Amino acid sequence: METNAVPSSLIAKNLALAIYAIGVLAVLVLSILFLIGANIVPFPEAMIAYSLREIGVIYLGVGAIPMALAAWAVCRAHNLKNKENGKRTCWLVFAPALVCALPFLYLVGIFVYMAILGISHIISTGGIVG
């Protein structure tokens, strides 16, 4: 009895590559939105109204960790480090993740700054004033 089953390693390679390709497309679109996006606010009635440019930065920052995981999966599934020019190829695969890393660090910095501001306010007023 002969089966024509696809090896699981081939499925893993193709799945990693498909997820990575979707991530690269999202990074490309969001980067274009950030770079040439207008300061139009698509939902002005929202409680916190963001412009298209700010939405691009936030989504790039949120997508940093999933993009890094997808790039790691592609490097691991395709065994890029052991091929000729492997390190250079891995750096190129990780380039979209690095593009996402800068907005991620920016957002982390904003959260840390706001936390320090809140703690200093609590200390200076003697407690949480309700």
104 or 77: which carries more pLDDT confidence?
A: 104
Count of structural domains, the chain: 1
Residue 4 has pLDDT above 70, yes or no: no
Average pLDDT value for the chain? 87
Q: At which residue do the structure tokens 């007023």 appear?
A: 125
- The answer to whether position 113 is within a domain reads no
Residue 73 has pLDDT above 70, yes or no: yes
- The answer to whether position 118 is within a domain reads no
- The answer to whether position 119 is within a domain reads no
Q: What is the pTM of this model?
A: 0.79
- The answer to whether position 108 is within a domain reads no
- The answer to whether position 126 is within a domain reads no
Q: What is the DSSP letter of 115?
A: H
Environment class of 7 (CB within 10 Å of its CB; exposed 0-12, middle 13-18, buried 19+): exposed
Which residue segment(s) compose the domain that 19 sits in?
8-103
So what's the pLDDT on residue 130? 56
- The answer to whether position 90 is within a domain reads yes
- The answer to whether position 29 is within a domain reads yes
- The answer to whether position 129 is within a domain reads no
